[in-house]
Every structure is written in structure tokens, then in C-alpha cells.
Amino acid sequence: MLAEDQTMEKTMYVPILKWRQGEYLAVGRTRETIKDWMYPLFEIPVEQWDFENDAPAKSLDDHLKNVGKRLSTNWKKRRCLFDSPHLAGDDTMANGDHHLARVFDLARASACQAIPVTGLGRHLVYQQAVASIIVQDGRGCALRLIPDDLEGNPSAKIDGLMHLLGVTPEQVDIVLDSAADVADSPTLQASFWQAWIAGLPHMDRWRSLTVAGGSFPASLNPSAGYRPHGDVHRREWRGYTRLAASAPQRQPWFGDYGCASPQTEMMDPRLFDPNAKIKYTIDDQWRIIVGTQVKRNGRT
């Protein structure tokens, strides 16, 4: 088992995935030899919404109750990261427990090795939940930074948060997440990441360092542009290869959002008819095929 403060030298891929059935089943079906190179970051999504009654389709307790069992089935005892950026930072369960604490209670009961993720500016109650999880599990945490965190004095803010959480850099995985804010130019994106990395304190001490982005289109309209297929540049990957070729002081890992956009929103299924889609990765691009509308034409 990796010690809490041991730097991870092996290069890993960090997919940022919503904790939804399609995603966790896909991870579970991945070959074991490929899993050895993955360090997934799972995001807890918002609860399903009942648009007819304008209320959550299920309680937060029901929304989270199977996390431990499903994580154990699909990722077993491998390490992974768990973040909750979409729920309110002070959301609690019916018994008053913080929702992130419940997720980790369930993961712990299933002998999973999840690691909490936080960021600058999160709710104090959320940070306190992360600090408690760190004490219980002894696996440190991940610090997920966004471009806005460059403003002001990021080093002081990072050190202040580590003090609050009771961790040292050796216990922290850094994720520099550009999300959808990825430059078209690989050189420009690499330069941005270089500047971001240069502004970090304790560069040689972090347990791991990842740069990530998600430039997959938020919308595939007009669909005619993807028939018979359309190819879209993987801007974050192209920027990463340029960054890696520049021989930075510390070689970061790569993370992305797979074939999904970070800019997701809930839509009333009564009001739209989705198109059938095939999306997959080919080297520097995504190949996207958009078919006809499912409700109108069926799935065959």
C-alpha cells in the first residue's frame, strides 16, 4: 500500500467522471492492466430531478446509499479520488451527517480506498468534513484548483487550507483543472499550465501533480456536422503533449473528462428528443457520430 506521504512516481491517467451508472460500469469493465495506470476522480452528481413535481426524484440518502457497494464492485481496493463540487457544501443527510462523510463511511465499510477532494473557497463545513475523513483514513487528500485560483496570493491560500486540513504537501494530490477553459492553441495552453505550475508552492513535495481539461463540445448542434462523422480536436491532450515536450521542472500527469463536457446541466426529458450518438477517442481527436432522434425513430 502506498504510504500517505509517499510521492507517486508512476505516470497515471486521471479521468474526471460523474459518479453515474455508465461511468462507473465502464471503469469496472476496463482491463486490469489498464486500471493499473488510472487514478480516477469521481464527482458526485446532483440528485435526479422530478420535473413534473419540481422536486428531487429521491432523497439525498437514497441518492448516495449504494456508493460504497458500487465502488467496491467496480474499482475494488484501488485508490481513487472523490469530489462533491455539484452539491451544496453544507448539504447533510437525514441524520445530520455531512454528505461527503456519508460517502466515505460507505466506502470505508466496503474496504475501498477513496481519497477526498477539495478546493479553495469551498464551504467551511465541507472542509471540516474533509479534515475528519483525512484523520480517519490517513490517505491525505487532493486539492483541485481552477484558473480563478491564480488570482491574489494562491500560495498563501493553499498553505492556509493545508493548515486547516492538517496535511503537508506530501499528503496532497494537486489537480490543476482548466475544465472547459482550454485554449485552441496547444502552445498557448501549455504556456498557461507552465505558468500555473510555476506559481505553485512546494513544487517538489506534492504527492502527485495533474493538469486536466475538458474541451469536448457542450453541444453537438447542428448534428449535420457529425454525419457521417465529425472529428473534434482534443485541445487539452494537444496542450499536454506540448507541455510534456517542454521538459517541465516536474512532469505532470494528464486528466480529462473523457467524451463528455464539464458543462453539464439538467434538462427536462419531456421537452427534448435526444439524438443517438457514438463518441470515442482517436489520437489527438474525438470521432463523433450523431444519428437520428431516439424517441421519434427508436434505437435500431
Judged by DSSP in three states, 1 sits in coil
Query: Nine-digit cell at 149?
Result: 485560483
CA angle 138, 78, 160 (to 5 degrees): 35
190 and 242 Cβ atoms separated by less than 8 Å: yes
The pLDDT value recorded for residue 293 is: 67
Q: How far apart are the C-alpha atoms of 300 and 294, rounded to whole Å?
A: 9
Q: How far apart are the C-alpha atoms of 136 and 63, rounded to whole Å?
A: 24
pLDDT tens for residues 144-195? 999 999 888 999 999 999 999 999 999 999 999 999 999 999 999 999 999 9
pLDDT tens for residues 94-145? 999 999 999 999 999 999 999 999 999 999 999 999 999 999 999 999 999 9
Element (H, E) at 276: strand 275-282
The pLDDT value recorded for residue 1 is: 41
pLDDT band at residue 277 under the 50/70/90 scheme: confident
Judged by DSSP in three states, 183 sits in coil
Query: Nine-digit cell at 142?
Result: 487532493
For the chain, the structural domain boundaries read 13-218+234-262
Tell me 126's DSSP state. Answer: H
Q: Which CATH superfamily is domain 13-218+234-262 in?
A: Aldolase class I (3.20.20.70)
77 and 87 Cβ atoms separated by less than 8 Å: no
The pLDDT value recorded for residue 228 is: 83
User: In the predicted model, what is the mean pLDDT of the chain?
Assistant: 91
**What distance, in Å, lies between the first and last C-alpha atoms of the chain?**
47
Reference 84, options 66, 64, 70; nearest CA is 64
The pLDDT value recorded for residue 134 is: 99
pLDDT greater than 60 at residue 268: no
